[in-house]
Chain A
């Protein structure tokens, strides 16, 4: 699912050359004796094109064209009302020198690391545990997956209440054992910790389910062979389970990179009631993620050109990180 290679248009051209079945997936063969048409025009496939057309019309209008239009917008100055004015790379130049943009990138990366590492590690441990037990398996799976279908808004409000500086449950509990209230929602690092904790809570179960499916696909004979060779459980885990699971781990790393970098609702809801800097990510802008900054620039400041530049620069960053992650996981295989 992650990113299967996109094959080019070679087969299309081949097809026009003749009905040679060579490279094509075996189609259902025509009834014996039927005369094979020498050439099938594109129009003879109108049913298939009709079948995919509803989706592709919507896709073109609401996804394909918009993505490129936003690239075009990033070279313009446009407030949504007046006329567009071409400014070349000025938006990107401004972005490069914009300390708030870089702050938002640092925040996003910090939150991503703080949430992804415990999420994936915890998911792997829980999946291993779940794979080892016989009873209550179904119950555990559902109970651990439920956070993932809860709305981010509801969860963010809940976390805001529980980690509230003054009346939150966490500080109340700490207070009973004599610890001073911790400024969860005003210290720049603790803000990130709270947001990351929220994301970890939501996504661990999801990744656990995926790992569990991978574990179940490993044949039992592999483990029996390892046991006969005298490998202990820990060694089995690191030398057999992890290597076999590598493709699935890679999949979850890619998905977590894409999802984890797109945090927006969490800080937006957590700090929206902070009248002084609503939508700016809370005290010191410590919860200002890149997408929140994009939202702020595009929809609250009506600076469409700059918003588009932010989101495209951000996209490049995601690609770079996915490639780096991919490399790291792949290199692990060789060593």
Chain B
């Protein structure tokens, strides 16, 4: 693959010779990065100006100085930190439970044979392909039967029933934890759970950290299910609160955008820190499986 693959066939060989290698590719990739990053920049522009600045024609295109004022408006309009706390609690609890429950089951599936193993695992694969919405309505009925509607714990349990983590960890454990090591542990007298806790878990840390980010990001960004089940408008998650802010004040751009910025930025920063490992993990799962 040379850059020539990207230039049109008409662009003759002559031109290709004169150019530094890869320049066209860098220009096109740079453009794509610009498109990818632009919404973040423009959100900051809107959040740092007043709504009047944005409404004027032509609109202000530079960063302004009204960020603090807009943030104050957001804080006085919605319970931002309350809903953020709800989101952090739900996302953290979900992530910890997903890691434990999924790794334990994945370990059993990866390294042991037991009657029913294939049927049980096959069921998971089939359900991973189903649209989640098939289950949403009965889940809601169930939540109202047991009185969990409006409560944060109603968000945690359905999220745990997602089989992706097991599927992904099983693959990793199968290749990443050598059988010989488990044998050695067994000869030393370690039972199933000691093998899991002392041998397997320390070896699959990269996979666990990927799954942790995946589960946390999903829980943080989830909108549909919280919208349905958190019926008390004073006790919702960040995404629902943000949507409410937009509904009530859609004409006050700068305030809404300050809210968007406050809600989206923490996650983008966290992601950027862990991105390298996360992206490597995401591709590994996809390419191995296909």
Contacts and interface: CB of A to CB of B under 8 A. Distances in A.
Nearest to A6: B122
Interface stretch (B62-70, B73-81, B201-209, B275-283): B275-283
B198 interface: no
A314 B131 contact: yes
Given A69-B138, A209-B283, A262 B242 contact: no
Contacts of B33: 140, 143-144
A87 interface: no
Interface stretch (A90-98, A167-175, A186-194, A280-288): A167-175
B104 A51 contact: yes
Given A55-B163, A154-B242, 18 more contacts: A6-B126, A9-B118, A24-B113, A27-B112, A48-B192, A49-B114, A63-B135, A80-B144, A122-B32, A126-B29, A129-B25, A133-B3, A154-B263, A157-B246, A206-B282, A217-B287, A273-B248, A311-B131
Given A143-B33, A161-B253, A258 B115 contact: no
Interface residues of A, number: 124
A39 B239 CA distance: 55
Contacts, number: 347
B234 interface: no
A29 to B, nearest CB: 8
A175 B191 CA distance: 72
Secondary structure class of chain B's binding surface, majority of residues: helix
13 contacts: A4-B125, A55-B101, A62-B142, A62-B158, A67-B134, A70-B137, A140-B32, A143-B36, A151-B242, A157-B242, A160-B246, A161-B257, A210-B282
B220 A132 contact: no
Given A70-B135, A176-B58, A1 B36 contact: no
Interface of B: 1-6, 9, 22, 25-26, 28-29, 32-33, 35-37, 39-40, 42-43, 46, 54-55, 57-59, 100-102, 104-105, 107-109, 112-120, 122-127, 129-142, 144, 157-158, 160-163, 166-167, 179, 182-183, 186-187, 191-193, 196, 217, 220-221, 223-224, 227-228, 239, 242-243, 246-248, 250, 253, 256-257, 260, 263-264, 267-268, 271-272, 275-276, 279, 282-290
